[in-house]
Amino acid sequence: MDLDEEMKKLKARGPDRPLPQAKMAKILAASFDRAASAWAMRVFEDNIFRRLAQFDQLEQVERDRIFNELVLATLTLIMLTLDAPDLRTAEEMGEYFALVRDEIPKAHRETLAGYGIEKEHLDLWDKLIFMRYSEYSKDKHEARYAAMQVEAAHKEDGSLDRNDMTGITLIVPIQTVAIGAHHHICRGKTEGKDELFLCLLRHLQRFYLEMRIPIEGGHITPMMRFRMGIRHAWQRVFPK
């Protein structure tokens, strides 16, 4: 798909001639895929991230693997966000979001195919995206429970109110993906690499905000609460 050309056509149609949902889902998935790759490159080229990941000690093949993990992290974060039951637009847009989610791996495959990547490697990417999405979908339940424990430990009576649960629900996708991506980037050797984790988390947080606010329909207030709360939550996990 030529995304730029499709966007021009969409703009020319105007709001009175909407495209079928399936076609719109493909266009949005392609847009998300482009954003995911751009974000991955931004992190990959960040000097702080490179220093913390010890790029000066890594061979090119290992650097390439890390870039791929960054792309996988962002793609799966988008997919998990589209699954989120707390989205303000979930009730009326849930089926459409599911269409978009399912189109994201296809969009990435098409992007790679456009670069001349061979079918063997395209098939591998399909498997990797499915594996990470499945892994993080399972892990988010443990992440939610862990976040509840951390938050409850800082309450006098150990109980959580509605605002606490709203905040926890908001951070679960990003928390899950950040922990998983950190683990994979470090090949499981995460001890002593908390700064790398926090660097990755901050980058993911910014992307999450940029992505989720439009999905929410432009409602920024809960996202602002999230932005303020996530720093507080992780200061509890990683106290100075």
pLDDT digits (tens, 9 = 90+) for 77-133: 999 988 876 665 556 677 888 899 999 999 999 999 999 999 999 999 999 999 999
Q: How many CB atoms lie within 10 A of CB 186?
A: 17
Q: What's the CA gap between 71 and 203, in Å, rounded?
A: 13
Q: Report pTM.
A: 0.80
What pLDDT score does 1 carry?
Answer: 76
What pLDDT score does 16 carry?
Answer: 75
Q: What's the CA gap between 97 and 28, in Å, rounded?
A: 10
Please check whether residue 211 is in contact with residue 74, taking contact to mean a CB–CB distance below 8 angstroms.
Answer: no
Nearest CA to 54 out of 204, 200, 186, 194 is that of 186
Asked whether the CA dihedral 91, 95, 98, 103 is positive or negative, the reply is negative
Considering only residues 48 and 143, tell me which one the structure prediction assigns the higher pLDDT.
Answer: 48
pLDDT band at 14 (very low <50, low <70, confident <90, very high): confident
What pLDDT score does 9 carry?
Answer: 81
What pLDDT score does 235 carry?
Answer: 47
pLDDT(136) > 80: yes
Residues, the chain, total?
A: 240
